[in-house]
Structures are given as structure tokens and as C-alpha cells.
Copies of this chain bind each other. A is one copy, B any other.
Amino acid sequence: MSLRYALLGVLSLGEMSGYDIKRRFDKSLHFVWNASDSQIYRELRSMEEIGLVESAWIPQESKPNKRLYQLTKEGETGLDSWLQSTDGWESIHDKDAFMLRMFFMGRLPRGKGLEVLRQRYEQLERSIRFYETRLREYGDTKRSRRPRLLRWQLRLLEGMHEIDSAQRAWIDGLINDLERDDRKSSPRRRPTAKTEG
């Protein structure tokens, strides 16, 4: 059901086509929600049927025609009451394919587990770097037509940054401990030397 509200949210920024919305998702929202284009088109249709949005068919030359959507009054009030509700976040965590792996990772030999952790680490690094460049971009924005919205989005980015940094720190600790164990259990191989190649 949240896709519906993600669409209402995006349309609250101005009227748009399904295609525009998809681009907006990919550009600014992908870290909190995403959807395939076919799902977006389908959902917009059904939202129009129940009166949350209205559309106008715009013929265009030298480009495909398009359908511009905008919020109705019901759409706006629906969005605002959803914002204040707790629908869809009864449980904070469920379905995390990485954490699920951790639960059973003890099956594998240490080295294999280490490899998986290193991949997660890199992934977190990329994610953190993404938030940092986005925060810089926001910092450069001198003024906006929607300063309140902007401030919340800035804070959101900061939060995501903190959360991923916490996870990275945890993974880092795990990796270090496993590497230490490795050295303890097979000390013959790399006694204290450090040359290589």
C-alpha cells in the first residue's frame, strides 16, 4: 500500500507523468522506496479510478504523447493523514537478506564468512559515500521553494548516514575479530613476518 503514498508524495511536488515519477524515484527516492515503471503506471490508473488523482492526456509532437497526473483534494488529504499514521511500520526490521545470512553464517568456515563480510563492508561504503555527496549537494542549495521539505530531507540523509555508519562499524569489528582468530589458529603460516611479493 505504501507505493500509493509514495506516488501521492511525489505528485504533491507538482503534476507529472508516470515517466517523470519513475525518474524522480530513481533519482531522489530510491533509498527509501522504489518501483518498476509498469507498477507505477498500473497504480496511477487505479488511483485515478478511486479519485486520488486526475489525469490529462497531452498530445505532443516529436515526442510520444503523455498523461499528466495531479493530486485531487482527496489525494492531498489522504497523503497528509498517511503521514501521521503508522501504517506499514509495525515491525522495524523484517526481511533483510543480509542479516538472514548472518543468522546461519556459522555453517561456513571462517574464511568464507569473512569474504561475505568484506562484500557487505564495500556495499556500506558505497552507500555512505552516496549519502555524503547528497548531503554536500543539499548544503550547496542556497534557497528553495519548499524549505521545510528540504530540511526534513536533509535530516533524513543524515539519519541514513548515521545508520549505515553504525552498521559499517559493527561489520568492521567483526572482520577484525575474525582476522585475529585466523592468525591465532594458524600461526605457522604468517609467524610475524610481513614481506610479500
Contact of A32 among B94, B113, B123 (CB under 8 A): B94
Q: Is the CB of B113 within 8 A of A31?
A: no
A174 interface residue, CB < 8 Å from B? Answer: yes
A88 interface residue, CB < 8 Å from B? Answer: yes
Q: How far is the CB of A80 from chain B (nearest CB, A)?
A: 6
> Can you name the residue of chain B whose Cβ is closest to the Cβ of A101?
B83
Also in contact, A99 and B160, with CB within 8 A (given A165-B166, A166-B166): yes
A37 interface residue, CB < 8 Å from B? Answer: no
Q: How far is the CB of A63 from chain B (nearest CB, A)?
A: 29
Which residues in window 96-155 of A have CB below 8 A to B?
96-108, 112-113, 115-116, 119-120, 123-124, 127, 146, 148-153, 155
Q: Is the CB of A84 within 8 A of B116?
A: yes
Q: Is the CB of A84 within 8 A of B112?
A: yes
Sort A-B residue pairs by CB-CB distance and give the 3 closest, nearest first: A106-B149, A166-B166, A88-B97
Interface residues of A (CB under 8 A from B): 2, 5-6, 9, 12, 29-34, 79-80, 82-84, 86-89, 91-108, 112-113, 115-116, 119-120, 123-124, 127, 146, 148-153, 155-156, 158-160, 162-167, 169-171, 174
